[in-house]
Amino acid sequence: MGFKMINILTKFRENMDIPINQIWNFIALRTADTPKQRYSLHAAHVIMVGLDAHSIAELTKKKGYDTELLPSLFTYREILWQPNVFEKPQLCMPAIRIFKAFCEEKAAEYDQDKGKTYEIYSGLLKGLAENCVRALKDLEKKRQPVSIHKVLKELRKRSFPIIKFFIDHPQNRNDYYHEAVNRLNYAIKISITEFNSRFTEFEEPFWRVENEKQILKSETRAPQKKPVTEEDTLDEEKAIF
């Protein structure tokens, strides 16, 4: 008695959320009869849409990725992991401004190149820069030390999924990767012990994989969305690239 292999990519689910560092194994399982799929990257408030298997596979190649980016972006960026040693808002604002400028500069560099891979890097860096803008605005309004705790907690929580993407990037040097992981674990410990964060507040980035037929069906049935006001975006904005 024979049996037929069931393709888990087509039979079990119409769409899936895949952990950042498992997407390449998932793509490798694709077969000729796998339905055409769309991919998107979700890192907290930043969503990168319009991706395909080829552009994601390109991330495994050395072309275009700066291995010095991870330590510059996180490992040596103390504002993202050190305990709060600032008694006044003015004292931590320069570090946030420098971080914002770095992210904007690197994003501009990636904008000069064509391709979805570069768009991913640029979009995520712009998301970090937006986090800095948000933090700076909050610090300018609040003057008590307890408020600095709140602002830094929010900055780190919103930045965590983006930083985690770069930590899990397949082209990282091993020594940079392990340094960053150690620093990240320390940052989470500080957030929990000093800023009263919960471990569940740290969202993992992920890839969303959707079969195109399912997407088209959803788009056809989707109701009209109400206009988004400026007040809405301040409450819970999504940066879609």
So where are the chain's domains? 18-24+35-215+231-240
pTM exceeding 0.85: no
Question: What value does the mean pLDDT take over residues 200-211?
Answer: 92
* Contact status, residue 175 vs residue 69, Cβ threshold 8 Å: no
72 backbone dihedrals φ, ψ, rounded to 5°: -70, -35
pLDDT at 8 over 50: no
Band of the pLDDT at 10, cuts 50, 70, 90? very low
What distance in Å separates the CA atoms of residue 42 and residue 60, rounded to the nearest whole number?
A: 19
Instruction: Name the strands in the sheet holding 46-51, side by side, starting at the edge strand that comes first in the sequence.
Output: 15-19, 206-211, 37-43, 46-51, 239-240
> What beta strand segments (E) does 104-190 contain?
none
pLDDT band (50, 70, 90) for residue 143: low
- Asked if residue 147 has pLDDT above 50, the reply is yes
Residues 84-115: pLDDT tens digits?
888 788 889 999 999 999 999 999 999 998 88
Region 212-222: mean pLDDT is 52
